[in-house]
């Protein structure tokens, strides 16, 4: 087993997010929270890129230095590229955007869950399904529940 593969045995779950920003409107409000999650060792950014879809449908990358709204210097994530996020992934993310929109594409390790994930793997556990329930779906489900009288 190579050293790189040995290191992967100690890795937490890896997730990705594609977050759309309609009309490329970035307030910067979430950026300090992202930096905080990384600094506290809760997550580790493996890949981070921002894209924008022009009115003609073409897609271009945005420089992290262009997203410094909110006073946070995102250039600390410059070069965050593990190779997990490829051109096909960026194209797929762009397909979800309307012209004029932008998106952040994040691949990150859930460092907080690494000890639990390692213990499961050592015990022979294998991930067979994973998913997320969007907050909007939770709200809709709760709204659909009639109050008990």
| Cα→Cα distances 78→38, 63, 68, 105, Å | 14, 9, 13, 14
Q: Is residue 103 part of a domain?
A: yes
43-53 and 14-21 strand pairing: unpaired
Q: How many domains does the chain have?
A: 1
Residue 106 banded pLDDT, cuts 50, 70, 90: very high
Q: Is residue 137 part of a domain?
A: yes
Whether 126 shows a pLDDT value over 60: the answer reads yes
Q: Is residue 149 part of a domain?
A: no
Q: Is residue 57 part of a domain?
A: yes
Q: Is residue 88 part of a domain?
A: yes
pTM: 0.81
Q: What is the pLDDT of residue 71?
A: 66
Q: What is the pLDDT of residue 79?
A: 81
Across residues 71-89, what is the average pLDDT? 83
Across residues 34-51, what is the average pLDDT? 93
Residue 149 banded pLDDT, cuts 50, 70, 90: low
Structural domain range at position 56: 3-144
Q: How far apart are the first and last CA of the chain?
A: 62
């Amino acid at each position: 087993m190579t050293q790189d593969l040995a290191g992967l045995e100690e890795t937490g779950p890896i997730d990705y997010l594609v977050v759309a920003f309609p009309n490329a409107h970035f307030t910067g409000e979430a950026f300090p929270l992202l930096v905080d999650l990384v600094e506290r060792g809760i997550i580790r950014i493996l890949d981070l890129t921002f894209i924008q879809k022009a009115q003609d449908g073409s897609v271009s990358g945005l420089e992290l230095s262009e997203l410094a709204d909110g006073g946070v210097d995102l250039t600390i994530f410059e070069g965050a590229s593990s190779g997990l996020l490829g051109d096909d992934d960026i194209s797929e993310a762009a397909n979800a955007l309307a012209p004029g929109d932008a998106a952040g594409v994040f691949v990150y390790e859930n460092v907080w869950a690494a000890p639990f994930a390692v213990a499961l793997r050592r015990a022979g556990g294998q991930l067979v399904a994973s998913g997320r329930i969007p907050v909007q779906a939770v709200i809709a489900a709760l709204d659909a529940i009639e109050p008990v009288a």
